[in-house]
């Protein structure tokens, strides 16, 4: 969000998912294992390819989408800014930019040109490992087939340079005029099914609902009047990745965790455990006794999506109704009801809601981008995409038509910088992490499914055959992703033991571990270094050592 807001003035996905199959002529997919992590989105991409759309995949692993790509760029993890600058170098040097769009709708172009000029394909090959000719071919393909859509996920954002990576994607889209049109834009694919809605409605430390900044006196006064309170803070709060260290330092004494499992999802989980154990009071609200809930002083039983009414806002800003299918199990209650009942017991004003519908009515009253949303309208039309400013507004399938939210789109001239931790003699491999099709996030739900557990029952590490041979693991029958015994993977923060899969899907010098498995938690190894703007940790690059413990 930080990168897109800086470039466009809005931090959301610019297109709608159905536009991909209907309009998009070229896809640049990077930092997203789309077919496994977002299979419904991937189905639209494949439909587009059937009618002739081009696909460029840039990823350190040969993910499934790479097998369908017209061009596959395999780069060293953490070098995103360099290779995107390289694409722009080719586009500018060959005169493939959209001159009219750049002149009429953007600013900062000259500064961008100066930086991009330094990133020739040959230099980018030295930095990233992408062959110079492949980079040229990808740049020409992306520039020639419009509208073009960039799809990315946490492989772009989870770096100390994550905000720079996003700004680079924005640069590329504006340079080629792929903004403000159906099927053309920059599209972050959210990692969970209501992340967009949580951000929209105040689940960020610096904004009220609808991205209204807490530091603006007029907005502070607006919400004080709406909520019947005085003295709302005009200071931004802590980001999630700042809260855990603050607990360890004694600056944060109590924490309320709802639907989150930082004991598996946070980087350097051994340190996270230490910090959580320093809290005076930890409350966890969830549907299962997660690893984090096991540390809590109080556990509040929430309900699953099937046991409550409400709305989800999807990755493409699509607001949809969720309807209760079964009654809550045992003493569990919907999250909104728990929060309201707690607030009422603390004599807080304005929490007398009787239903989620009443909550939505308040949202519409104070949140301009949701101003025209109501349960009645959602029942009538099925879904609405914000911004929906009024009750007669049809919603907004794609953003920035004719004008950016900030006025002119802003180019950012960005120099490549390395990840916070690189391999050395002691820790010679780069570890990158990610998701699998058969498990979701920290496995709180999917690892309780017998069928899904049969598909992928345990954690593993992927290694290139040459790397496996270097630690004495490769022998003739180990090919094509087969298991090759047990290894110990260690970083400066911890170590885990797990099975190894030998495969050419991964680059030499890089290993991959899915992060769903508590018994071999990838995040026991990852680096807690943060992006200075967004506060996102560098999950995708850290240095590790791999040792055979059995063959």
Q: Bridge partners of 152?
A: 30, 188
Cα–Cα distance measured from residue 441 to residue 515, given in angstroms and rounded to the nearest whole number: 7
Is residue 359 within 8 A of residue 311, CB to CB? The reply is no
Q: How far is CA 75 from CA 63, 210, 509, in A?
A: 13, 37, 11
Listed in order, strand segments (DSSP E) in 78-236 are 106-107, 148-152, 185-188, 207-208, 212-213
Has residue 551 got a pLDDT over 60?
A: no
Cα–Cα distance measured from residue 34 to residue 227, given in angstroms and rounded to the nearest whole number: 41
Angle at 168 between CA 135 and CA 540, to 5 degrees: 85
pLDDT digits (tens, 9 = 90+) for 197-229: 999 999 999 999 999 999 999 999 999 999 999
> Quick one: CA torsion of 454, 460, 464, 470, rounded to 10 degrees?
-130
Cα–Cα distance measured from residue 50 to residue 71, given in angstroms and rounded to the nearest whole number: 16
Q: Residue 539 has what pLDDT? A: 87
Domain edges within the chain = 2-189, 195-385, 429-550
pLDDT digits (tens, 9 = 90+) for 378-399: 999 999 999 999 999 999 999 9
Q: How far is CA 250 from CA 255, 280, 380, 439, 493, in A?
A: 12, 9, 51, 35, 21
Q: Residue 477 has what pLDDT? A: 47
pLDDT digits (tens, 9 = 90+) for 134-155: 999 999 999 999 999 999 998 8
Name the residue among 502, 485, 503 with its Cα closest to residue 547: 485
Task: Taking residues 276-305, report their average pLDDT.
Answer: 96
pLDDT digits (tens, 9 = 90+) for 484-521: 688 999 999 999 999 999 999 999 999 999 877 778 78
Q: Residue 177 has what pLDDT? A: 97
Q: Bridge partners of 208?
A: 212
Query: CATH: 3.40.228.10, 3.30.1540.10, 3.40.50.720, 2.60.40.420. Which one for 2-189?
Result: 3.40.228.10
Task: Taking residues 43-47, report their average pLDDT.
Answer: 97
Residue 190: strand, helix, or coil = coil
Here the tokens at position 146 are 């419009």
Task: Taking residues 334-359, report their average pLDDT.
Answer: 94
CA terminus-to-terminus distance, the chain:
45
- Check residue 202 and report its DSSP letter: T
Has residue 439 got a pLDDT over 80?
A: no
Has residue 313 got a pLDDT over 90?
A: yes
Angle at 292 between CA 286 and CA 294, to 5 degrees: 90
Is residue 544 within 8 A of residue 429, CB to CB? The reply is yes
Q: What is the CATH number of domain 195-385?
A: 3.40.50.740
pLDDT band of 447, cuts 50, 70, 90: confident
pLDDT band of 550, cuts 50, 70, 90: low
**pLDDT over 70 percentage in the chain:** 98
Neighbouring C-beta atoms of residue 294, cutoff 10 Å = 10
Domain 429-550 architecture: Beta Barrel (2.40)
> Quick one: CA torsion of 483, 462, 447, 38, rounded to 10 degrees?
-130
Predicted TM-score (pTM) of the model is 0.92
């Amino acid at each position: 969000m930080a990168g897109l807001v800086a470039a466009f003035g809005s931090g959301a996905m610019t297109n709608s998912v159905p536009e991909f199959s209907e309009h998009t002529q070229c896809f640049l997919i990077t930092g997203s294992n789309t077919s496994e992590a977002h299979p419904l989105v991937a189905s639209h991409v494949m439909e587009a390819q059937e009618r002739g759309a081009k696909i460029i995949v840039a990823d350190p692993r040969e993910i499934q989408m790479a097998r369908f790509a017209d061009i596959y760029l395999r780069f060293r993890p953490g070098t995103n800014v360099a290779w995107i600058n390289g694409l722009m170098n080719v586009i500018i040097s060959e005169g493939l930019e959209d001159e009219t769009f750049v002149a009429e709708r953007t600013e900062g172009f000259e500064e961008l040109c100066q930086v991009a000029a330094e990133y020739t394909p040959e230099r980018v090959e030295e930095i990233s490992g992408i062959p110079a000719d492949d980079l040229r071919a990808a740049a020409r393909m992306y520039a020639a087939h419009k509208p073009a859509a960039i799809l990315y996920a946490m492989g772009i954002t989870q770096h100390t340079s994550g905000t720079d990576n996003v700004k680079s994607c924005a640069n590329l889209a504006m340079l080629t005029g792929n903004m403000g049109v159906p099927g053309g834009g920059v599209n972050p694919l959210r990692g969970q099914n209501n992340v967009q809605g949580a951000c929209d409605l105040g689940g960020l430390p610096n904004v009220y609902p609808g991205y209204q900044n807490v530091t603006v006196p007029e907005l502070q006064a607006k919400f004080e009047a709406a909520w019947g309170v005085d003295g709302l803070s005009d200071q931004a709060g802590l980001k999630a990745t700042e809260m855990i260290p603050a607990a360890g330092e004694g600056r944060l004494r109590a924490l309320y965790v709802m639907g989150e499992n930082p004991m598996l999802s946070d980087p350097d989980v051994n340190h996270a455990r230490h910090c959580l154990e320093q809290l005076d009071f930890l409350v966890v609200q969830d549907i299962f006794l997660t690893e984090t809930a096991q540390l809590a002083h109080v556990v509040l039983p929430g309900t699953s999506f099937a046991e409550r009414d409400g709305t989800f806002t999807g990755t493409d800003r699509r607001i949809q109704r969720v309807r209760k299918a079964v009654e809550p199990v045992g003493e569990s209650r919907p999250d909104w009801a728990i929060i309201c009942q707690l607030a009422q017991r603390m004599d807080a004003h304005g929490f007398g809601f009787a239903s989620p519908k009443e909550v939505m009515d308040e949202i519409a009253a104070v949140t301009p981008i949701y101003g025209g949303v109501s349960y009645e309208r959602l029942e009538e039309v099925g879904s609405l995409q914000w911004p929906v400013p009024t009750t007669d507004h049809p919603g907004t399938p794609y953003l920035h038509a004719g004008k950016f939210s900030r006025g002119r789109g802003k180019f950012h001239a960005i120099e490549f910088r390395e990840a916070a931790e690189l391999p050395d003699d002691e820790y010679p491999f780069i570890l990158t992490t990610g998701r699998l099709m058969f498990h979701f996030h920290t496995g709180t739900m999917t690892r309780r499914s017998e069928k899904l557990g049969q598909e992928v029952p345990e954690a593993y590490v992927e290694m290139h055959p040459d790397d496996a041979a270097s630690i004495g693991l490769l022998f003739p029958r180990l090919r094509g992703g087969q298991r090759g015994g047990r290894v110990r993977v260690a970083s400066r923060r911890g170590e885990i033991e797990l099975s190894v899969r030998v495969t050419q899907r991964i680059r030499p010098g890089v290993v991959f571990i899915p992060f769903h498995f508590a018994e071999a938690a990838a995040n026991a190894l990852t680096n807690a270094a943060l992006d200075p703007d967004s506060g996102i940790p560098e999950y995708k690059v850290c240095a590790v050592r791999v040792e055979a413990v059995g063959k």
